[in-house]
């Protein structure tokens, strides 16, 4: 077992201590078992370690005064269980080995996500921080200062987080290649932590929220059923998340699905303000909702899909 001290490239001044697992018969100068090395935030390949893992739980407090993704901020404020991943996207002929690692880990986490609906997953391309002075100015997929706040050194970077008092604890942190079985066990351990979160266990993803032409109301929204069972959206609601506190309840401003709207596993459906609304794919909406004519929503605001019991199913930035 070798101790490796890695200085984060995300803008932090601290040096993070990590443990590099070195299998018997190998050295830290080459990746073990054919597993490629990591990829720095700037794009350079880090030779050697097959896996870097944090030595112990690390406290983390999000600086809400700096620009961070609004949906991540909302999950943090709600004290949800969180997994955040930074990876390098696309093809780069200079670093084919490093990008292979990012693709493998990102794909493995995507495969595991449906098994842990109580966890909120966030994934960001390290090459797209965005240029914004506030969280609301960030575009979808941009991460602002989040990588700097988390001391991201090289990718793939995976952090699993649980609320602890007024802050969070990073329970597992991986940089570089990590096997799917290790990620699965870490996710299982994460979900064993009891938290006072109102996250739903229904596997539905909020894909699109289209605003009306005036008044900041909602024209329609689209969801995808990632679960194994057919769901009925009647009684579900789309609510505005308080940007200051991250709070969202069934009493928050929003809309509520007012008729039976069934969605089969693996299928998508849209719900609109009136029956003749057509979504971005040219399909008529499957059902309708009531309310929400004058929500004053603006690009950058966060909304949450709540199940019929008021628990948060998913969030999205409009």
Q: Tell me: do 169 and 251 sit in the same domain.
A: no
The 10 Å Cβ neighbour count of residue 141 is: 14
pLDDT in tens, the chain (318 residues): 333 333 333 333 333 333 333 333 333 333 333 334 444 443 332 333 445 565 578 899 999 999 999 889 988 988 899 999 999 876 655 554 446 888 889 899 999 988 998 899 999 999 999 999 989 889 888 999 999 999 998 889 999 999 988 889 999 999 988 999 999 999 999 999 887 667 888 889 999 999 988 778 899 999 999 888 999 999 999 999 988 888 888 889 999 999 999 999 999 999 999 999 999 889 999 999 998 777 888 888 889 999 998 989 998 888
Which among 191, 220, 237 is the end of a domain? Answer: 191
Q: Tell me: do 166 and 215 sit in the same domain.
A: no
pLDDT value at residue 15: 36
Measure Cα distances from 161 to 19, 96, 167, 168 in Å: 19, 30, 10, 6
Domain presence at residue 9: yes
Domain presence at residue 198: no
Domain presence at residue 30: yes
Query: pLDDT tens digits, residue range 84-141?
Result: 999 987 665 555 444 688 888 989 999 998 899 889 999 999 999 999 998 988 988 8
Q: Tell me: do 213 and 126 sit in the same domain.
A: no
- Strand, coil or helix: 60: strand
Query: pLDDT tens digits, residue range 244-275?
Result: 888 888 889 999 999 999 999 999 999 999 99
Q: Tell me: do 162 and 247 sit in the same domain.
A: no
Asked if 225 and 265 touch (Cβ cutoff 8 Å), the reply is yes
Domain presence at residue 58: yes
Domain residue limits at 273 = 204-317
**Structural domain count, the chain:** 2
Helices of type H across 174-258: 180-191
Output the domain CATH number for residue 211. 2.60.40.1260
Domain presence at residue 155: yes
Strand 287-290 with 268-272, pairing: parallel
Q: Tell me: do 181 and 267 sit in the same domain.
A: no
Domain presence at residue 197: no
- pTM of the predicted protein model: 0.63
């Amino acid at each position: 077992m070798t101790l490796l001290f890695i200085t984060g490239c995300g803008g932090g001044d601290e040096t993070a201590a990590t443990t590099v697992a070195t299998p018997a018969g190998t050295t830290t100068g080459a990746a073990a078992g054919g597993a490629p090395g990591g990829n720095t935030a700037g794009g350079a390949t880090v030779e050697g370690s097959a896996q870097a893992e944090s030595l112990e739980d690390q406290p983390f407090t999000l600086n809400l005064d700096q620009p961070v993704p609004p949906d991540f901020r909302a999950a943090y404020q709600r004290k949800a269980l969180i997994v955040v991943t930074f990876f390098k996207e696309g093809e780069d002929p200079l670093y084919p080995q490093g990008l292979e690692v990012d693709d493998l880990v990102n794909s493995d986490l995507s495969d595991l996500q449906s098994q842990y609906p109580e966890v909120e997953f966030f994934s960001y391309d390290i090459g797209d921080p965005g240029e914004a002075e506030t969280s609301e100015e960030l575009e979808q997929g941009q991460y602002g200062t989040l990588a700097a706040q988390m001391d991201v050194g090289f990718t793939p970077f995976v952090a699993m987080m649980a609320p602890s008092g007024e802050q969070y604890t990073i329970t597992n942190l991986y940089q570089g290649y990590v096997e799917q079985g290790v990620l699965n066990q870490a996710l299982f351990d994460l979900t064993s932590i009891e938290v006072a979160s109102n996250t739903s266990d229904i596997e539905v993803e909020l894909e699109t929220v289209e605003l009306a032409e005036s008044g900041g109301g909602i024209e329609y929204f689209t969801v995808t059923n990632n679960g194994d069972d057919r769901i009925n959206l009647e009684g579900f609601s789309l609510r505005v998340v308080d940007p200051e506190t991250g709070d969202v309840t069934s009493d928050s401003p929003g809309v509520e699905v007012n008729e039976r709207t069934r969605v089969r596993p693996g299928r998508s459906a849209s719900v609109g303000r009136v029956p003749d609304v057509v979504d971005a794919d040219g399909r008529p909406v499957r059902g309708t909702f009531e309310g929400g004519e004058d929500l004053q929503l603006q690009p950058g605001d966060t909304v949450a899909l709540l199940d019929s019991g008021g628990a948060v199913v998913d969030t999205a930035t409009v």
